[in-house]
Structures are given as C-alpha cells and as structure tokens.
C-alpha cells in the first residue's frame, strides 16, 4: 500500500489546491508515482475527463490541474464526489464523474455514508496503483458542525491513518490564531494526526516572521514546515471564485499601442469561470470579473460565462440592470461572447423544466436560437474547427450542459469534427457550449483580433507566441519550485513515508465534537 498526506487548510482558498499541486510536482520530479485526491469537492469549476472505460465524466478543475502536476491524465477517481451548487439550498451530486441526484442539505446528510464509501473505494484503487497519494481537504477541518459525517478532512485522515498538514493564508491576516484554533477545536484523535503547518502567500522579509513561527511551534508542539512567498504567476485553474479579485491574472503590457478591456459578468452561480483565464493570459488583455453595469458599459468585449443555474442567473441579470447593460453593449456593435449558460441566456427563448423548472422564459434575444433543457447532462470532450473569422482553425474544448439548441439554424461559431454546427454568430454577438475553446491558441488570437477591430481598438495586437499549455506547465513548475525551495521537503517526506509524528500534544478545549 502507498503512503500519503492530507493537505488541510484554515479556510477555503487558504492554498490547499496549489500546495497539493506543488507537492505533487515535487514528488513527480523525484520519480515518485504520485496521484492527487480530493474525496469531495464543492465547486462549479469542473472539467470533463475520460475514464478508463472511455466514458466522459466530470471532476473539479483543480484536480485536473493536480493530475497534470503528477504527469497523469485526469481520472474521475481523483475527485470521486463533486457537489455543484445550483442555489443556496441545493446542489447537484456527481459521483465518479456522473450526476446522480440533486439534493438539499438534509438530503445530502442522508447520502453521506454512501458517498464516503464511494470516495474510500476510489482512494483504495489509487493506493494500489501509486506510491503516494496527496489528498486535498475541503474548507477547514475545524468546521465542527460537519465533523460527524466528514470523509474529506479528518474523517479521511482517520480512515487512512495518514498525517495532515494545515496551510494558512497570511495575506488575509490572523494566520497564527487560525492555525492554533484549527487544531484546538479538534478532538484528541484528530489532533494526533495534525503534524505540521505551512504558511502561504507571505510578502516581505521572512526574518520578521521568525518569532511568530517559533511561538506557534511552542504553543502547539507542531513545526512550521515552511513559508511560501506570494507568487503572482500561479493564478491559473483556480479552485473557486474566492481566488479571483476584480482583475483576473496579472495582465502583461500590450504589444500594440492599446489595451483590450474585457468584462466577465460575475454571475451568482458562475460556472467554469476558468474559461476567461485563457483571454487573460494574452498581453494587453485586461480581464475584470464584475457585477457593475458601469464596468460593462466601459468594456470593449463582454463575456457572459457559464452558469449552474441559467434561468435564475438570467433573472438576476435583469434585476441588477446588467441585462440592459449587456444588450446596450451589443447594440453599440461591440463584441459580446456567451459561453455555455451565458450562450443560452442570449437566446430568444428558454424552455426549462429541468434546472429551474420555470417552463418557458424569454431570453435576451441576442441570438436567433431557442434553448431547451434535457434531464440527461451532455458530457463530452469535443474537437473541431472554427467558423467565421477563424475559419478552419482547429479548436478543442469540453461540454457540460443540460441545455441545447432546440430551434434555429444560425451561422455556427464552431463545427464538430464530423461537420455538425456548434454555437452561433450574429454579427458582433456569438456563443458556444464549449468550455476551454480559447485555450486553442490560434483560435484565441483570431477571436481577440476581431474583437479589438469591432471595439475600435485598432492599436491592439495579439502576441504571436503565447502557448496556453506552456503557461500552465510553467505555473506547475513554479509550484514545484516553491515547494523545493521554501518547504522542509525532508520533513514532508518523513511524514509521507512514516506517518503522523508520534507524541504530539493535545490542545484544549478539543473534546468530543462529533468525531468517530
């Protein structure tokens, strides 16, 4: 059987995903057969992968990124349970890549034993096939109201007997209190598995932090295995929307004389926001996630991204005045792009008895199509070519949607390899169901060049040599470098190989808070 490690965090977006990826890349470089694992993820940022049987399934986007760090093709076992929130009260439950139900919090509690069994079975398979499995926790292990049925944080560590390290984000402030409190709220058996800390996103002189590191070690009996500096070039494939500020990525200076300003609508149930990352990777492209009509009015290109709740988010667009701003942008002749749910919103009519069950509702009327929804979800890895200004350029992507074009024969934005049309173009307005299409470099360049022309940004120029796949590899290598240069990798390896540190002190109050 393999060794392993749980990377837990003081909060969501503390750095669990990137630290897991960095440790995976470090081990992969050493020749270790390593795999990532997240027993349960809650995210609308997902990716379609092909299982061993050739069937398409979806997992969290972060686990696909971690697989790449390991030199592996993504596998549904890397994220056997995925929860995709469709509202504040319900989530779609995806097991081993396939949607099995939509449940409320109460219904989820009734499913937890079954879901834990699925997760542990997937982990057992990975342990047989790999030397090491690096597990990412979810949220914080100190969410004591959820501990009784937990199988992703300390429930997983208890099941395997593996050690856990806790990462805290110092950029948010209060990191030492968060580290101490995370341990102190756990019961004795859970505390015995928390073996070390890592501090993330530090800016400044590490020497100034040394007294705090010594004090937290003295207070908890647990060492800090390293301090990771803030790195602006590791923003790709973010786990969730918490990782995004108003400006996406770190925009490089324009090659031509002008910037291209892109506004991505930050929908309440935004899905696969990572689609915009490929646009933000281009020099001179400034991408903002926004919910402000004024920022839409000031943009050159507006993007309506994917949504897990298309009709509900369309209602929100209208209530906030964003729908009027989007339509005014389109009427001005400037480019407008819709992806998946955003594409569906631009239809004349939507017929939805599946997601919202609201029946027939009017769309924005910007594309000559009608959208209907099927109970079965389309999951596919798709290949084809572009139409329009990028005619014949190869494009790859993936699809995750219940909605489909029920009526309308518009000019397609893309075509499948077998010639079938996909998406729609009507002048300056276009849309597609394909996620990830703009990771196809030449298609992205042609699209942005045309968008700049329509927006009147005649001084904008695309870079001829940006390769998105290479940028992702660079980011993964940067994460591996951070681990090698700033963490005590010998201590990490001892934990992976030998298990939790024996004799760790108990921190009060702890106590029985629902653990096993």
Q: Collapsing DSSP states into helix, strand and coil, what is residue 425?
A: strand
Q: What does the pLDDT average to over 239-262? A: 77
CA distance 417 to 211: 61
For residue 279, the surrounding DSSP H or E stretch is helix 275-280
**Comparison of pLDDT for 440 and 51, the residue scoring more:** 440
Which among 297, 305, 368 has a CA at the least distance from the CA of 330? 297
Task: Return the structure tokens found at 118.
Answer: 């699925």
Specify whether 225 is located in the same domain as 284.
no
Alpha-carbon distances of 160 from 78, 128, 229, rounded to whole Å: 16, 13, 31
Residue 240 — very low, low, confident or very high, per pLDDT cuts 50/70/90? low
- What CATH number does residue 324 fall under? 3.40.50.880
Q: What is the 3-state secondary structure (H, E, C) of 162-209?
A: CCEEEEEEHHHCCHHHHHHHHHHCCCHHHHCCEEEEEEEEECCCHHHH
- What CATH number does residue 197 fall under? 3.40.50.300
Quote the domain boundaries for residue 487. 3-234+472-498
The predicted-structure confidence for 107-125, as pLDDT tens digits, reads as follows 778 888 999 999 999 999 9
Provide the phi-psi class of 511: left if phi over 0, else alpha when psi is between -120 and 50, else beta. left
Q: Give this prediction's pTM.
A: 0.93
Dump the DSSP string for 292-351: -HHHHHH-SEEEE-EESSHHHHHHHHHHHTHHHHHHHHHHTT--EEEETHHHHHTSSEEE
Specify whether 263 is located in the same domain as 366.
yes
Give me the residue label for tokens 């350029």: 393
Specify whether 124 is located in the same domain as 272.
no
Structural domain includes residue 447: yes
Using a pLDDT cut of 90, give the percent of the chain over it.
81
Alpha-carbon distances of 168 from 52, 178, 336, rounded to whole Å: 36, 7, 39
The predicted-structure confidence for 351-406, as pLDDT tens digits, reads as follows 999 988 999 999 999 999 999 999 999 999 999 999 988 999 999 999 999 999 99
Specify whether 398 is located in the same domain as 436.
yes
Mean residue pLDDT across the chain: 93
**Contact between 364 and 325 (Cβ < 8 Å):** no
Which residue intervals of 359-488 are DSSP H helices? 441-455, 468-486
Residue 510 has pLDDT above 90, yes or no: no
Specify whether 215 is located in the same domain as 299.
no
The predicted-structure confidence for 147-206, as pLDDT tens digits, reads as follows 989 999 999 999 999 999 999 999 888 999 999 999 999 999 999 999 999 999 999 888
Specify whether 382 is located in the same domain as 440.
yes
pLDDT at 55: 86
Structural domain includes residue 249: no
Give me the residue label for tokens 């070039």: 233
Structural domain includes residue 330: yes
Residue 15 has pLDDT above 80, yes or no: yes
**Contact between 325 and 331 (Cβ < 8 Å):** no
Q: What does the pLDDT average to over 426-438? A: 97
pLDDT at 487: 97
Structural domain includes residue 247: no
- Where in the sequence numbering do the catalytic residues fall? 340, 435
Specify whether 206 is located in the same domain as 260.
no
Structural domain includes residue 7: yes
CA distance 336 to 403: 20
The β-bridge relationship of strands 414-416 and 370-386 is antiparallel
CA distance 169 to 185: 19
**Contact between 205 and 237 (Cβ < 8 Å):** no
Specify whether 279 is located in the same domain as 308.
yes
Structural domain includes residue 105: yes
Count of structural domains, the chain: 2
Q: What does the pLDDT average to over 472-493? A: 96
Which among 132, 32, 60, 69 has a CA at the least distance from the CA of 475? 69
The predicted-structure confidence for 64-107, as pLDDT tens digits, reads as follows 999 999 999 999 999 999 999 887 778 899 999 998 988 877 77
Residue 318's contacts (CB-CB under 8 Å, 6 or more residues apart) are none
Using a pLDDT cut of 70, give the percent of the chain over it.
96
CA distance 452 to 456: 6
Specify whether 199 is located in the same domain as 158.
yes
**Sign of dihedral through CA atoms 358, 360, 366, 367?**
positive
- Give the chain's end-to-end CA distance (angstroms, integer): 24
Structural domain includes residue 339: yes
């Amino acid at each position: 059987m393999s060794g392993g490690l749980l990377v837990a965090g003081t909060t969501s977006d503390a750095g669990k995903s990137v630290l897991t990826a960095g440790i995976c890349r470090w081990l992969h470089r050493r020749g270790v057969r390593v795999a990532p694992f997240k027993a349960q993820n809650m995210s609308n940022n997902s990716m379609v992968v092909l299982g061993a049987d050739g069937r398409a399934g979806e997992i969290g986007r972060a686990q696909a990124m971690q697989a790449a760090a390991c030199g592996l093709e993504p596998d549904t076992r890397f994220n056997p349970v995925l929860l995709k929130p469709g509202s504040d009260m319900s989530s779609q439950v995806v097991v081993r890549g396939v949607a099995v139900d939509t449940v409320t919090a109460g219904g989820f509690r009734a499913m937890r034993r079954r879901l834990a069994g699925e997760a542990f079975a997937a982990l057992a398979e990975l342990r047989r096939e790999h030397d090491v499995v690096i597990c990412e926790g979810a949220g914080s292990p100190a969410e004591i109201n959820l501990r009784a049925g937990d199988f992703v944080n300390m429930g997983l560590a208890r099941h395997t007997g593996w050690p856990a390290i806790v990462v805290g984000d110092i950029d948010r402030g209060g990191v030492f209190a968060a580290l101490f409190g995370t341990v102190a709220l756990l019961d004795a058996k859970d505390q015995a598995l928390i073996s070390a800390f890592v501090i993330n996103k530090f800016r400044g002189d590490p020497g100034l932090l040394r007294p705090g590191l010594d004090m937290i070690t003295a207070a908890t009996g647990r060492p800090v295995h390293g301090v990771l500096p803030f790195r602006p070039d590791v923003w790709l494939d973010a786990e969730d929307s918490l990782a995004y500020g108003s400006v996406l990525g770190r925009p490089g200076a324009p090659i031509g004389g002008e910037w291209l300003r892109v506004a991505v609508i930050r929908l309440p149930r935004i899905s696969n926001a990572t689609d915009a990352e490929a646009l933000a990777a281009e020099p001179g492209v400034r991408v903002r996630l926004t919910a402000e009509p004024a920022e839409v009015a000031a943009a050159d290109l507006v993007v309506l991204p994917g949504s897990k709740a298309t009709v509900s988010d369309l209602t929100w667009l209208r209530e906030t005045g964003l729908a009027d701003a989007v339509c005014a942008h389109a009427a001005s002749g400037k480019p407008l792009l819709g992806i998946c749910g955003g594409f569906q919103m631009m239809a004349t009519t939507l017929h939805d008895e599946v997601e919202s069950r609201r029946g027939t509702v009017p769309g924005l009327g910007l594309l000559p199509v009608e959208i209907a929804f099927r109970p079965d979800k389309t999951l596919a890895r798709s290949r084809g070519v572009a139409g329009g200004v990028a005619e014949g350029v190869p494009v790859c992507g993936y699809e995750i949607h219940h909605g489909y074009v029920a009526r309308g024969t518009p000019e397609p934005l893309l075509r499948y390899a077998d010639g079938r049309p996909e998406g729609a173009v009507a002048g300056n307005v276009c849309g597609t169901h394909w996620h990830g299409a703009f990771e196809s470099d030449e298609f992205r360049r042609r699209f942005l060049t045309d968008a700049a022309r329509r927006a009147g940004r005649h001084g904008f120029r695309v870079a001829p040599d940006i390769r998105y796949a290479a940028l992702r590899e660079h980011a993964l290598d940067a994460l591996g470098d951070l681990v090698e240069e700033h963490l005590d990798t010998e201590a990490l390896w001892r934990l992976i190989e030998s298990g939790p540190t024996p004799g760790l002190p108990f921190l009060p109050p702890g106590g029985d808070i629902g653990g096993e």
